[in-house]
Amino acid sequence: MLRVDVDKQLGAFSLSAKFEIAHGAGALFGSSGSGKTTVVNMVAGLLRPDRGRIEIDGDVLFDSEARIDQPPHRRGIGYVFQEGRLFPHMNVRANLDYGRWMSGRKRHKAVFERVVELLGIGHLLARRPGGLSGGERQRIAIGRALLMQPRLLLLDEPLASLDSDRKAEIFPYLERLRDEAGVPMIYVSHSPEEIRRIATVVVLLDNGRVARIGGTEILGASHSEFA
């Protein structure tokens, strides 16, 4: 269970969001500029809310009143960025191992191989990110976040920088991830089609406010309005 109740002023943009997402696949939906990335950055600890509280499974990540603010590296939240953000100076294997390496865990061959198989990236392990296609990079970014064994996976528009063929290539992997990996995830997107295929609970953001929370049926009504 992820509980978010935050306020943040960023220049002229003001965000004030309060919602809960139970375990499983949740989604943040809204047009660009509605505050989706701002919210996930605050959950990951990359952006500090002006006020509020964020907790996950009863563990308080941020609380302005209790002056709690766990740094991102202690939150244990996997984050797949829109642009991948693979480390250019490491090969794919080192990128995938980075989270395990930082947490000091021992290599677990079966876990590694399962994720590599799940994402179909076995043939890329020795390559450097610079020479890979956008779709390959994004799969590796997902694998990298997954292999840190996070308690929550944030996917911020993971397909936005890809063309429709690449999207079709990655989507089955995302669905397998949801069904097989057993990690709760928050999928951020402005595409109702993507969210319908992935999520069960949808938080609809509009101009920094939570407009609606519900099942994927709330996307239908707002389709013409937001997409």
Partner 1 sequence: MFELTAEEWTAIRLSLRIAAVATFAALPFGIATGWLLARKDFWGKSLLDSIVHLPLVLPPVVTGYLLLISFGRRGFIGSFLYDWFGFAFSFRWTGAALACGVMGFPLMVRAIRLSIEAIDQRLEAAASTLGASSIWVFATVTLPLAMSGLIAGMVLCFAKALGEFGATITFVSNIPGETQTISAAIYTYTNIPGGDAAAGRLVLIAIALALVALIVSEWFARRAGQRYHGS
Binding-site ranges for partner 1 (CB under 8 A): 44-46, 71-79, 81, 83, 85, 87-89, 98-99, 102-103, 127-128, 130-132, 144-145, 148
185 close to 26: Cβ distance less than 8 angstroms: yes
Residue 152's alpha-carbon distances to 21, 44, 135, 166, 225, in angstroms, are: 11, 10, 22, 25, 30
Identity of the residue, 73 or 106, whose beta carbon is nearer to partner 1 in the bound complex? 73
Q: How far is the CB of 33 from partner 1 (least distance, A)?
A: 19
190 close to 226: Cβ distance less than 8 angstroms: yes
Distance CA 112, CA 37 (A): 29
Identity of the residue, 145 or 204, whose beta carbon is nearer to partner 1 in the bound complex? 145
Starting at the earlier edge strand, list the strands of the sheet with 2-10. Answer: 68-69, 59-63, 51-56, 2-10, 13-21, 209-214, 201-206, 25-29, 185-189, 152-156, 77-80
Q: How far is the CB of 105 from partner 1 (least distance, A)?
A: 10
Identity of the residue, 82 or 216, whose beta carbon is nearer to partner 1 in the bound complex? 82
Q: How far is the CB of 206 from partner 1 (least distance, A)?
A: 26
Q: How far is the CB of 165 from partner 1 (least distance, A)?
A: 21
| DSSP-assigned beta bridge partners for residue 154 | 79, 186
Q: How far is the CB of 79 from partner 1 (least distance, A)?
A: 4
Identity of the residue, 36 or 144, whose beta carbon is nearer to partner 1 in the bound complex? 144
Identity of the residue, 45 or 49, whose beta carbon is nearer to partner 1 in the bound complex? 45
Identity of the residue, 81 or 173, whose beta carbon is nearer to partner 1 in the bound complex? 81
Q: Measured on CA atoms in the order 100, 101, 104, 106, is the torsion positive or negative?
A: positive
80 close to 141: Cβ distance less than 8 angstroms: yes
Q: How far is the CB of 225 from partner 1 (least distance, A)?
A: 31
The residue type of 223 is H
